[in-house]
Structure 1
Amino acid sequence: MEHRHLGRSGLKVSEITYGNWLTHGSQVENDAAVACVHAALDAGISTFDTADVYANTVAESVLGSALKGQRRESLEILTKVFGPIGPKGHNDTGLSRKHVLEACEGSLRRLGTDHIDLYQAHRYDYATPLEETMQAFADLVRSGKVGYVGVSEWTADQLRAGHALAQQLGFQLVSNQPQYSMLWRVIEAEVVPASRELGVSQVVWSPIAQGVLTGKYTPGGKPPEGSRATDTKGGADMIQRFMRDDVLARVQRLRPVASDLGLSMAQLAVAWVLHEENVASAIIGASRPEQVHDNAGAAGKKIPADALARIDEVLGDVVERDPARTLESSPKQREV
C-alpha cells in the first residue's frame, strides 16, 4: 500500500480508503463488516471513512468497534457532518455551530476515539453562514478534537470561499470528497483546477461507479442477487443512473483493457482515478473481504497513456462531464 499527502498538509493517507457508506449497519451484517475492516487492515489500508448520517449513526459505531484494539496512531479516521441524524429534529442537520459541535461529540463517542483525523462538511449548507461553520471547525481544531478539515461535493467557488476563511481562522482546508470515476468526471473541468490552486486534495467516492465498472451488470441482464442494484435500502436508487444498457455495453468493452494490464475490472477502475495526481485516495466499499483485497490490489498500479486513451475511446459519450452536476448535490434548503 502506498500513501499520499492530503493537500498541502503533512498528513498522509493510504491510496485506498475503506469506507462504509450503504454497507455497515445496513446492507452488511456486523460480523461481515468487521471482517471487511480487518481485511482492509491486512491489505495495508490505514485510512477509514464514514459519516454520522450513514445508517443514522450506526455505521460509525460499527467502524469504531471493528477498529478497537488497533494502534490509533497508525490510523487515519475520517468522518462527516451535515446529514440528518437521531430523531431528525430541527437542529439535527446542517452545518450550524450547534449541530457541528454536537455532532462531533457524537462521532467521537461512537468511533471510540478522542480525535478525528479529518472532519468533513458532508455538503454545502446554504442555510448557515459559511463564517459560522468555519469558525466551528476552527474551534474543533484548536481543541484537539479534529486534526484537519475537509468538505464533500463542494463547487470550485465554494472551495475558494471556504479555503479563504480557513486561512483567516488559522487552520487548513485540505480535502474535498466528490464522486469520481471513469463514468462520472464532473470535477475535472472546475473543481480539480481550483483544488490544485488551493492545495486541496480529492478523496473520491464511488470509483467503481457503485459496482458498475466491475462488469457484473450486463445489458438486458438481471442484476446478481445481493448486488448493489438489488439493495432496497438505498443502494438500488444510487446506482440507477448507471444502469442503462448503453452504459453497461460500453463497460463490457473495458474487459480487454483490464486483461491486457493484468488487472481485474475493479482494479482498473480504482487505478484509473488514482492516475489523477490531485486524488489523494480512492474510497472503496465492500460486503465481502475478498472484494477488499481485490480493490486494494489497485494501489501503486500505473495505467499507461495508450490504455487511458483506449478507455476514453471505449466509453465515449456515456461519460458524465457537466460541472453543474456538483451544484445539484447540495440541497438549497435544509432538510428536516
Structure 2
Amino acid sequence: MEFRNLGASGLKVSAISYGNWLTHGSQVEEDAALACVRRALDEGITTFDTADVYANTAAESVLGKALAGERRESLVVCTKVYWPTGPGGPNDHGLSRKHISEAIDGSLRRLGTDHVDLYQAHRYDHETPLEETMLAFADIVRAGKALYIGVSEWRAEEIRAAAELARELRVPLVSNQPQYSMLWRVIEEEVVPASVEAGMGQIVWSPIAQGVLTGKYLPGEQPPSGSRATDDKGGADMISRWMRDDVLERVQLLRPIAEDAGLTMAQLAVAWVLQNPHVSSAIIGASRPEQVSDNVLAAGVRLDADLMRSIDEVLVGVVERDPARTQSPASRSF
C-alpha cells in the first residue's frame, strides 16, 4: 500500500481508502460487509470512510463492529455530517451548532471510538451561517472528538471562505471529498486550485463511476442481475447518469488500454485518479472481498503520459467538466 499526506497536513492516509456508502447496512449483508473490511485491513488499507446518513446510521455501526479490536492508532476513521438521520426532524439535518454537536456524539457511539480522525461537512449548508458551522467544528476539535476537519462537495468559493475561518479559529481544515473519475472531472478547474491554496487534499469518491468504468455494463444490453444498476435502494439512481450507450461504448474502448497496461479496467480507473498529485486517497467500496483485493493493486501504479492521452482521446465528448455541477442543496424541506 502507498501512503500519502492528506493535503498539507502531517496526517498519512492510505492511497486507497475503504468506504461503505452504498453497501454496509443496505446492499450487503453484515457478514459480507465484515469480510470486506477484514480484507481491506489485510491489504494494508488504513483509512476508512463512512457517514451518519449511510443506511440511516447503520453503516457506521457496521464499520464500528468491523474495526473493533484493531489498534486504534493504526487507523484513520472518517465520517461526515449534514444529511438527515433518525426521523428527519427539523434539527436532524444541516450544519447548525446543535446538529453538529449531537451528530458527532452519535457517530462516535456507533463507531465505538472516542474520536474520529477526520470529521467532514457532507454538503454546504446555505441555511446556517458559515461562522456558526466552523465554530462548532472548532469546538469538536478542541474537545478531542475529531482531530481534523474537512468538507465534501463544496464549491471553490465555499472552500476559500471556510479556509479563512479555519485559519482564524486555528483548526486543521485538511480535506475535500468530491466525486472524481475519468468521466467526472468537475473539480479540476476551480475546486482543486482553491483546495491547494487552503492546504487541503482530495479524498475522492466513486473513482470507478459507480462501477461503469469496470466495463461490465454493455451498450444496448440490460445490466447484469444483482449489479448496482439494478439496485432499488439508491444504487440505480446514482449510476443512471452513465447508463447511456454513448458513454458505455466509449468505456468499452478503454479495455485494450487496460490490457496493454496489465491492469483490469477497475484498476485502470483507480490508478487514473491517483495520478492526480492533489488526490490524497481514492475511496473504493465492495460487496465482495475479492473486489477489494483487485482494486488495491492500483496503488503505486504509474501511468505514462501517452497512456493518459489515450484515455482522454477515447473519452472525448462524454466527460463532465462543468464546475457548476459541484453544488449543495439550496434549501431543506421537511
Which interval holds the TM-score relative to the shorter structure? over 0.9
For 2:261, the aligned partner's letter is L
Distance across 1 between alignment mates of 2:194 and 2:91: 32
1:118 is matched with 118
Q: Is the 8 A contact 1:267 1:298 kept in 2?
A: yes
Distance across 1 between alignment mates of 2:195 and 2:138: 20
Q: 1:235 to 1:258 in 2, by over 3 A?
A: same
2:68 is matched with 68
Number of aligned residue pairs: 334
For 1:264, the aligned partner's letter is T
SS in 1 for 2:326: helix
1:59 is matched with 59
Distance across 1 between alignment mates of 2:148 and 2:99: 18
SS in 2 for 1:301: coil
Distance across 2 between alignment mates of 1:14 and 1:145: 22
1:293 is matched with 293
SS in 1 for 2:147: strand
Distance across 2 between alignment mates of 1:189 and 1:257: 26
Distance across 1 between alignment mates of 2:70 and 2:119: 20
2:161 is matched with 161
1:188 is matched with 188
Distance across 1 between alignment mates of 2:248 and 2:122: 30
Please state if 1:237 is matched with 2:237.
Answer: yes
Distance across 2 between alignment mates of 1:309 and 1:335: 44
For residues 7-29 of structure 1, give each alpha carbon's deviation from its aligned partner in whole angstroms, at most 9, with x where no partner exists: 11110100000000010000000
Gaps of 5+ in 1: none
For residues 202-224 of structure 1, give each alpha carbon's deviation from its aligned partner in whole angstroms, at most 9, with x where no partner exists: 00000000000000000011111
For 2:82, the aligned partner's letter is F
For the aligned residue pairs, the C-alpha RMSD in angstroms reads: 0.6
1:331 is matched with 329
Q: Is the 8 A contact 1:137 1:149 kept in 2?
A: yes
1:5 is matched with 5
Q: Is the 8 A contact 1:14 1:281 kept in 2?
A: yes
Q: Is the 8 A contact 1:84 1:335 kept in 2?
A: no
Q: 1:47 to 1:215 in 2, by over 3 A?
A: same
For residues 103-141 of structure 1, give each alpha carbon's deviation from its aligned partner in whole angstroms, at most 9, with x where no partner exists: 000000000000000000000000000000000000010
2:131 is matched with 131
For 1:314, the aligned partner's letter is V
What does 1:258-269 correspond to in 2, within 5 Å?
258-269=258-269
2:35 is matched with 35
For 2:129, the aligned partner's letter is P
Distance across 1 between alignment mates of 2:102 and 2:167: 24
Distance across 2 between alignment mates of 1:223 and 1:46: 33
Please state if 1:104 is matched with 2:110.
Answer: no
SS in 2 for 1:37: helix
**With structure 1 as the length reference, what TM-score do the two structures score?**
0.99
For residues 43-73 of structure 1, give each alpha carbon's deviation from its aligned partner in whole angstroms, at most 9, with x where no partner exists: 1000000000000000000000000111100
Please state if 1:21 is matched with 2:25.
Answer: no
Q: Is the 8 A contact 1:125 1:334 kept in 2?
A: no
SS in 2 for 1:317: coil
Deviation at 1:5, TM superposition (A): 0.5
2:49 is matched with 49
For 1:113, the aligned partner's letter is T
Distance across 2 between alignment mates of 1:229 and 1:303: 29
Q: Is the 8 A contact 1:24 1:58 kept in 2?
A: yes
Distance across 1 between alignment mates of 2:311 and 2:333: 39
Deviation at 1:197, TM superposition (A): 1.7
Distance across 1 between alignment mates of 2:263 and 2:321: 26
SS in 1 for 2:226: coil
Distance across 1 between alignment mates of 2:221 and 2:176: 36
Q: 1:19 to 1:335 in 2, by over 3 A?
A: farther
What does 1:275-294 correspond to in 2, within 5 Å?
275-294=275-294
Distance across 2 between alignment mates of 1:277 and 1:251: 24
Q: Is the 8 A contact 1:219 1:249 kept in 2?
A: yes
2:197 is matched with 197
For 1:334, the aligned partner's letter is R
Deviation at 1:314, TM superposition (A): 0.3
SS in 2 for 1:88: coil
Please state if 1:82 is matched with 2:113.
Answer: no
For 1:248, the aligned partner's letter is L
1:148 is matched with 148
Distance across 2 between alignment mates of 1:229 and 1:194: 34
SS in 2 for 1:318: coil
Deviation at 1:334, TM superposition (A): 2.2
Deviation at 1:262, TM superposition (A): 0.6
For 1:262, the aligned partner's letter is G
Q: Is the 8 A contact 1:163 1:172 kept in 2?
A: no
